[in-house]
Structure 1
Amino acid sequence: MNVLVVEDDVELTQFIQKGLVSEGIAVSTAFDGIIGRTMVNENRFDVVVLDVNLPGVNGFDLCRFIKQNWPAVPVIMLTALGSLDNKVLGFEAGADDYLAKPFAFKELLFRLKALARRHPSRAPRPKRLELLDLAIETDSHKVWRAGERIELTAREYALLEYLMLNQGRVVNRIDLLENVWDVHFNSNTNVVDVYINYLRRKVDRTEPKLLHTVFGVGYMLGAEP
């Protein structure tokens, strides 16, 4: 699962991030609404967690933006504004769930997982993905690097596409197992590392290297590590 947390309280954000990562969930964070909007534009998330009182763009407006552009992405409002009127505003903005602060982390975790299960569909894949001289056509599963066609197996392609959809973000092994191999448990298998090496041999035969290992965390596809 890939979660975006948009919250201007740094301490609370770190608390949520630490808890979710310990559960094998990939977490991205933004500390204001403008950054959050940019991240939603550039990445795919399974669930978005929004505070309401955010600098730049408030949570209600950001929720409307998400739902107008990616209606399948579930949003949970996480805010100190727990009155009935504020909850109504949240749901009218398109929120799928509303959790008032203070909250128990375990409840947030269960709600996130429930939302992800109820909303398995994601935004449609772009027809073409590009990173420098690496290009993918998602309909035909064709891949090129520096104008040269690269032949990939079905699993290699699925791994590369997922990394391309999350380019610039470190993706951990559990996230890859869940989204590429459909393995929904903390497995000790080294299949991810094996296939990363397969991709390196085919995709990174030319400079610059695009597939990077972030030791102790996971892998990232990008121009720079």
Structure 2
Amino acid sequence: MKILLMEDDLILNEIIEEHLQDKGHTVISTYDANSAQNHLYEDTFDLLLLDVNVPGFTGFELLKELRDNGIKTPAIFITSLDRIDDVENGFASGCDDYIKKPFELKELDLRINNIKRLFNIELSSTLKISNNCIIDKENLTIIIENEKTRITQKELDVLMYLYNNKEKVISVDEISSNLWSYEEGPSSATIRTYIKNLRKLLGENYILNIRGVGYRFNNN
């Protein structure tokens, strides 16, 4: 799923973003209502996760505006506002679910899965990263101009991690700590080999080598 996350607590935003990315979702993170509003009118999403008390204006006001303008994307409020009047206001503004802070990440997963069921949202096994390049995750295949090339599961894992964190430069150590357990962690040379193979298949413009720092996915 492609999810817009609006949460002004920097630490909580990062925790939720990383958790959702680990679950295979694409996440656009915002910290205030104005930034979220810009994304919502420029792009499409499968789900909105909205805090309420954020800079700019409230999540309630943002969602009501979206609904008034015909944007029906499913929305879940994640907020510390826990009075019954707050819950009532949340649903009155157009939300589909309401989670009170603090909450377990597993609860968030359950609520998201319920939204998927209610709205019949299916996770696609393919990812289009450009007009001529598609990643078939189920069949471990990169398709470039209709030519198919098989990759390994670990190469796919590395590629998806870079893609899901494409706003950041990712170090080899970060890839290792997030994709492998400490006991089975590969050498830096092994990870660089995976990336070298991916760059050869995709073209070097997709995975940029930031010398001395790491790698950044680029599909602009």
The TM tier, using the shorter chain, reads 0.5 to 0.7
| TM-score of the pair, normalised by structure 1 | 0.59
Q: Which has the higher contact order (CA 8 A, sep 6+)?
A: 1
| Match of residue 213, structure 1, among 170, 183, 206 | 206
Shift, 1:117, TM fit = 2.8
Q: In angstroms, what is the RMSD of aligned CA positions?
A: 3.0
- The one-letter amino acid of 2:40's match is V
Partner of 1:88: 88
* 1:104 to partner: Cα distance: 0.6
- Give, as a single letter, the amino acid of the residue that structure 2 aligns with 1:117: R
Residue type matched to 2:83 in 1?
S
Does 1:189 pair with 2:140?
A: yes
Q: What number of residue pairs does the alignment pair up?
A: 152
Q: CA deviation at 1:66?
A: 2.1
After superposition, residues 6-85 of structure 1 pair within 5 angstroms as 6-85=6-85
Q: Tell me: CA distance 1:91–1:11, structure 2 relative to 1, closer, same or farther (3 Å).
A: same
Contact 1:7–1:32 (8 Å) recurs in 2: yes
CA deviation profile, 1:63-102 (whole Å, cap 9, x unmatched): 1122223443101000000110100000000111000000
Can you give the 5+ residue segments of structure 2 that lack an aligned partner in the other structure? 148-204, 209-214
Q: Point out where structure 1 has 5 or more consecutive residues left out of the alignment.
A: 122-157, 165-171, 178-185, 201-211
In 2: Cα distance, 1:90 partner to 1:12 partner: 21
Asked if structure 2 preserves the Cα contact closer than 8 Å seen for 1:47 and 1:116, the reply is no
Aligned mates of 2:7, 2:55 — CA distance in 1:
9
**4+ runs deviating over 6 angstroms:** 215-219
Q: Distance in 2 between matches of 1:13 and 1:113?
A: 20
**Structure-2 separation of matches of 1:83 and 1:89:** 10
TM-score (norm 2): 0.61
Q: Offset of 1:8 from its aligned partner? A: 0.4
**Alpha-carbon spacing, 1:217–1:56, altered in 2? closer, same or farther (3 Å):** same
Equivalences for residues 132-171 of structure 1 within 5 A: none
